[in-house]
Amino acid sequence: MVAQATAIQSHTVTSKSRGSLTRLHAKEARMGALLVVPTVCGIVVFTAGPIVASFALSLFRWNVINHPAFIGLQNYRALIHDSVVLHAFMTTALMAGLIVTLQIGLGLGLAIVVERRSKRLRKIYRAAFFFPLMTSAASISIVMTYMFDDHFGVVNYYLSLLHLPDVSWLGSTVGSVATIVLVVVWQQVGFTFILFVAALGNVPQELVEAAAVDGASGFQRFRTVILAMISPTILFAATVGVINSLQIFDQAYIMTSGGPGDATNTVVMQLYEAGFENLKFGYASAISVFLFIAVLALTALQFRLSRRWVYYSGMEGT
């Protein structure tokens, strides 16, 4: 009887403990859901909602003044035959390719150089390279417009002091594209720099030392060991860089207004012009949908190709 009473009491205590844990888990679940609600609402209102609205609006003709008129795929047909928009896509793709290449190359090079300095200097360099990223693109573009001005710019002034000819930074096709690319890279290279500094700090030194013992040169150690270990970071930097570069707007709009001619006319500038200047919001939505699909396709292609060269530590079949 005593044993049976003890068992019943133990079962009762266990049931009460389980009930308490269940109530505690339910309470934590409710609290977690409550904390997630603001983020989910923000994503729905400011990200998912506008994307869905753009897809829907691209099927209409709407100028804000009149009621939307459903026209099906006419905006997309017009987009395919619009030489100005197609040229803007080509220009944007060219800029994006140059920007991403320079960002990754300079960011990795600077990270390698800075990692060889003392800890105190590394902190100073990190802050210096990252500081432009904290400044608005509009502010930087205004300053750079004066610096690269063809007639009274600071850059051409110092070139004249070196007895070098003036350069038409913003007045020529090649010069304007190169200037915008340089300004974007200068502002955003700090992001890739910080990524590569962190990645290089996580490279196992025993692997580098083992390669050195096997007779590998410095370049061979960098190519076969260091690049392999930081390849996921390179993929991440390239993916984010492509996504950001394809949406370039501030620098081109402020520094050249898409000129000279349409040399620096980007996709987002065409979107802005169609929607907010010409009030063709349906056509502007079609441009945004086309850009969204292009970004999505390029991102998927990057991840597809990454299977051949990206190495994830501890994973096989990559």
The model's pLDDT over 35-85, given as tens digits with 9 standing for 90+, comes to 888 888 988 888 888 889 999 999 999 998 889 999 999 999 999 999 999
Note the pLDDT of residue 246: 95
127 Cβ partners below 8 Å, 6+ apart? none
Are residues 126 and 212 both part of a single domain? yes
Note the pLDDT of residue 116: 76
Detail the DSSP E strand segments found in the chain. Answer: 60-61, 69-70
Closest CA to 80 of 264, 284, 298, 287: 287
Average pLDDT, the chain: 87
Mean pLDDT of 262-268: 94
Q: Is 313 within the bounds of a domain?
A: no
Note the pLDDT of residue 114: 86
Are residues 180 and 93 both part of a single domain? yes
Neighbours of 196 (CB within 10 A): 24
Are residues 6 and 98 both part of a single domain? no
Note the pLDDT of residue 240: 95
The 8-class DSSP code of residue 62 comes to: -
Are residues 99 and 48 both part of a single domain? no
Note the pLDDT of residue 21: 57
pLDDT at 17 > cutoff 70: no
The model's pLDDT over 168-193, given as tens digits with 9 standing for 90+, comes to 999 999 999 999 999 999 999 999 99
pLDDT at 130 > cutoff 70: yes
Q: Is 230 within the bounds of a domain?
A: yes
Containing structural domain, residue 163: 74-306
Instruction: Single out the residue in 31, 57, 83 at which a domain terminates.
Output: 57
Q: Is 66 within the bounds of a domain?
A: no
Quote the percentage of the chain above a pLDDT of 70. 91
CA dihedral 205, 206, 208, 213 (to 10 degrees): 140
Mean pLDDT of 270-284: 94
CATH of the domain at 159: 1.10.3720.10
Q: Is 40 within the bounds of a domain?
A: yes
Are residues 249 and 301 both part of a single domain? yes
Are residues 31 and 128 both part of a single domain? no
Closest CA to 179 of 269, 98, 85: 98
Question: Which residue type occupies 111?
Answer: A
Q: Is 203 within the bounds of a domain?
A: yes
Mean pLDDT of 22-29: 76
Note the pLDDT of residue 212: 87
| 81, two tokens | 């035959």
Are residues 37 and 178 both part of a single domain? no
Buried b (16+ CB within 10 A) or exposed e, 165-186: eebbbbeeeebbbbbbbbbbbb
Are residues 268 and 299 both part of a single domain? yes
105 Cβ partners below 8 Å, 6+ apart? none
Tell me the C-alpha distance between 289 and 271, whole Å: 10
What interhelical angle do 137-147 and 154-161 show, nearest 10? 40
What interhelical angle do 173-201 and 119-130 show, nearest 10? 140
Q: Which residues pair with 70 in a beta bridge?
A: 60
Are residues 83 and 219 both part of a single domain? yes
Are residues 188 and 101 both part of a single domain? yes
**Number of structural domains, the chain?**
2
Q: Is 68 within the bounds of a domain?
A: no
Note the pLDDT of residue 70: 94
Closest CA to 114 of 186, 197, 192: 197
pLDDT at 90 > cutoff 90: yes
Q: Count Cα neighbours of 143 within 13 Å in the Cβ-side half-sphere.
A: 10
Mean pLDDT of 110-123: 80
Closest CA to 108 of 187, 191, 190, 196: 196
Mean pLDDT of 264-281: 94
Note the pLDDT of residue 191: 93
Quote the percentage of the chain above a pLDDT of 90. 59
Element (H, E) at 300: helix 281-306
Mean pLDDT of 112-126: 79
Are residues 87 and 190 both part of a single domain? yes
Note the pLDDT of residue 18: 58
Q: How far apart are the first and last CA of the chain?
A: 64
Mean pLDDT of 225-254: 94
Tell me the C-alpha distance between 201 and 190, whole Å: 16
Confidence band of 318 (pLDDT split at 50, 70, 90):
very low
Q: Is 104 within the bounds of a domain?
A: yes
Note the pLDDT of residue 7: 47
pLDDT at 19 > cutoff 90: no
Q: Is 292 within the bounds of a domain?
A: yes
Are residues 34 and 133 both part of a single domain? no
Neighbours of 266 (CB within 10 A): 26
Note the pLDDT of residue 5: 46
Note the pLDDT of residue 2: 44
Could you tell me the pTM of the whole model?
A: 0.85
